[in-house]
Structure 1
Amino acid sequence: MLIKSADDKSKRLALLEDLQQSSLLDTRQKDWLRDELRRCKAGMEGERAAAFYLDGHYKDGQNNVLLHDLRFLVDGEVAQIDHLVINRTGYMVLIETKNYSGDLEVNAHGEFTVRYGRDRYGIPSPYEQSRRHARILGKLLERLEISTRTDKLPEFHNVVMMHPQAIFERPDPKAFDTSFLIKADQFPSWHEKLVDGIGTGGIFKALFNVRSPDTIKEWGEKLKRQHRPADLLALPDFMQPKPHLAQVAQIPKPAAPAPIAAPAAAAPVDADASLAKKLICAHCRAKISFPEGKFCWAKAERFGGLQYCREHQGLFA
């Protein structure tokens, strides 16, 4: 049964796309913005593809509980679990989704590399990342008193799930076992093998730990309440407008001839207070985006409680 769907990340995507139009970004900011936008789009696409197959397999079932897009804070550590499956027989599957635009390689030492044409880049192991999240999840389960009938933590199984069209190379399984690495459309088959393996290795243990659908639903609801979504509008400190670029933006540009002369813009100190908390620049009266307004409202002392477009925020540098 489905307990939690993925959070809506459209605000994050809109913010990044809006920032691309700014004339106040330096080279480092532009590079970060381009990479972050690519990561955001790829991540959302990978999660959607995985959720499509997982929902089809678990949404209407009673033996498993499914939660998408969980973020837990435990003792200052963060666990971001893309998908979590809770089974009635006392195990949980943590699924880490990845959607690389290049081909993935895994060598005999468990090292991950992404290949873009002739270029190759080493990346952190998503499998080890999932195992760290399992450790943090274990702490949370203890505090929520979620355990098997033998008062032990549920068994954790970690999966790295790729897009169905992904291409990756594996090492010899005798050198390094990559059975945890699957494509999204292969998950039902992978899960059947897991269940068969549990039955072969400890069917009596599994039957002893079996819980009712209501119990695992209650576990899922408890974990859903512990979800702490990230701030979708947060940006690194270095992404704030640069003062010297803001000053350049203040240089007046020759106005194009117009049938009716536009009224002179008021100085910031004379801004109309009635515009407060509206998505309108208090200096030039142009429409602004929500992130621009939020940036100014969070710095009320600097902007006098009003809001300005990115170009005229520089007037207060």
Structure 2
Amino acid sequence: MLIKTADDKQRRLKLLEELQASPLLDRQQRQWLQDEAMRCQRGQQGERDAAHYIDHWKKDSEQHAVLHDLRFVVDGETAQIDHMVINRALHFYLFETKCFSGDVQINEQGEWTVSYPRGGRYGVPSPLEQSRRHERILDKLLTKLDITGRGGLKPSFHHVVLLHPKATIERPDEKRFDTRDVIKADMIQRWHEQYIESVGVVEVFGKLLNWHGTDTLREWAEKLARQHRPVNPLELPDFIKPRAAMATPSVGAAKSVALAPAVSAGPPAAESKTEDVASHPLYRKLVCATCQGKISYPEGKFCWNQEKRFGGLQYCREHQAGIG
């Protein structure tokens, strides 16, 4: 049964595209908007493709509840789950969708690397570990909502990473690091069949003890759907907000300032450029100014030593390639 579909992301994409057309953008703002639009488009397409395969697999099943695009906030912590399937034995399948534009390699330590066609090989955070962090927050939410199994049996969680059907995956020896839960999105049904085949008699018996009715499953899934806390699609970081708004406009200029788009009033003068960049919330921090992911000190130093190219900010290797 399909309980929740993905949120509509078109309003945010439209905003990002319209702001890019503004003549009032400086270079850093324009680059951020371009990268953010690309991330949104790629992520939305990947999640849409994965949802297609998941819906084909279980949306018509009365034994399973399907929910897409969930964002929970529990005790100040946030979990964003791309897709979730729940069965009547209180088994939660958490699917993390990744739409990399390069080839994926996973080593024996479970570390992920992506190689891109135009060159460049970069480490990325493990989606499996990301999903496991979501599990901890989801488990707290289930306790708060009193979603529990029979006889005190706890829910069980299964983590799966979905990649594009055309992705290339280089895997380690399964005896050193098991990657059976990293699959191409079109292999979901086969993956689940293999999982069922691998389950022992003890676990099957436990599932029967924890079996619930279809109405209970729907009630739980709808209760979780009501806990979804979507992000504001029009929200932008402080870096994109108009600096002119911080100054008090003249009476004659008040109307034009109020109608100005949420971007800077134009490229800063040479004398104030350093001061403006220094006011950026990510200035001289080991965080990529585009994707806001953590970077190494050598990556940051490389950018800081090329201030003319990177504007005094820092970027990961992937996003350095798109600047200059």
Which residue of structure 2 lines up, in the alignment, with residue 37 of structure 1? 37
- Please tell me whether residue 70 in structure 1 is matched to residue 21 in structure 2: no
For the structure 1 residues 177 and 311, does the alpha-carbon distance in structure 2 shift closer, same or farther, using more than 3 Å as the test? closer
**Equivalence map 1:123-272=2 (5 Å):** 123-198=124-199, 200-243=201-244, 269=251
Structure 2 letter corresponding to 1:138:
D
Q: Deviations over 1:85-134 (max 9, x none)?
A: 10112211000001011111111111111111320111111110000000
For the structure 1 residues 242 and 313, does the alpha-carbon distance in structure 2 shift closer, same or farther, using more than 3 Å as the test? closer
Which residue of structure 2 lines up, in the alignment, with residue 308 of structure 1? 259
Q: Deviations over 1:27-58 (max 9, x none)?
A: 22222222211111110001000010111111
Structure 1 letter corresponding to 2:166:
Q
Task: Find the residue that maps to 1:195 and give its secondary structure.
Answer: helix
Distance 1:269 1:314 in 2: 17
Given that residues 92 and 155 in structure 1 are in contact (C-alpha distance below 8 angstroms), is that contact kept between their aligned partners in structure 2?
A: yes
1:15 to partner: Cα distance: 0.9
Note the aligned Cα RMSD (angstroms). Answer: 2.4
Given that residues 146 and 219 in structure 1 are in contact (C-alpha distance below 8 angstroms), is that contact kept between their aligned partners in structure 2?
A: yes
Q: TM-score, normalised by structure 2?
A: 0.76
Which is greater in Rg? 1
Distance 2:50 2:203 in 1: 29
1:309 to partner: Cα distance: 3.2
Q: Deviations over 1:164-193 (max 9, x none)?
A: 111221111111111110111100111122
Which residue of structure 1 lines up, in the alignment, with residue 317 of structure 2? none
Given that residues 94 and 157 in structure 1 are in contact (C-alpha distance below 8 angstroms), is that contact kept between their aligned partners in structure 2?
A: yes
Identity of aligned residues (%): 52
Q: TM-score, normalised by structure 1?
A: 0.77
Given that residues 25 and 241 in structure 1 are in contact (C-alpha distance below 8 angstroms), is that contact kept between their aligned partners in structure 2?
A: no
Given that residues 128 and 161 in structure 2 are in contact (C-alpha distance below 8 angstroms), is that contact kept between their aligned partners in structure 1?
A: yes
Name which of structure 1's ranges 113-122 and 46-55 shifts more when overlaid on structure 2.
Answer: 113-122
1:76 to partner: Cα distance: 0.5
Paired residues in the alignment total: 263
Distance 1:84 1:28 in 2: 36
Structure 1 letter corresponding to 2:42:
A
Distance 2:19 2:196 in 1: 47
Structure 1 letter corresponding to 2:260:
C
* Structure 2 residue ranges without an equivalent (≥5): 267-324
Which residue of structure 2 lines up, in the alignment, with residue 82 of structure 1? 82
Given that residues 198 and 206 in structure 1 are in contact (C-alpha distance below 8 angstroms), is that contact kept between their aligned partners in structure 2?
A: no
Given that residues 25 and 242 in structure 1 are in contact (C-alpha distance below 8 angstroms), is that contact kept between their aligned partners in structure 2?
A: no
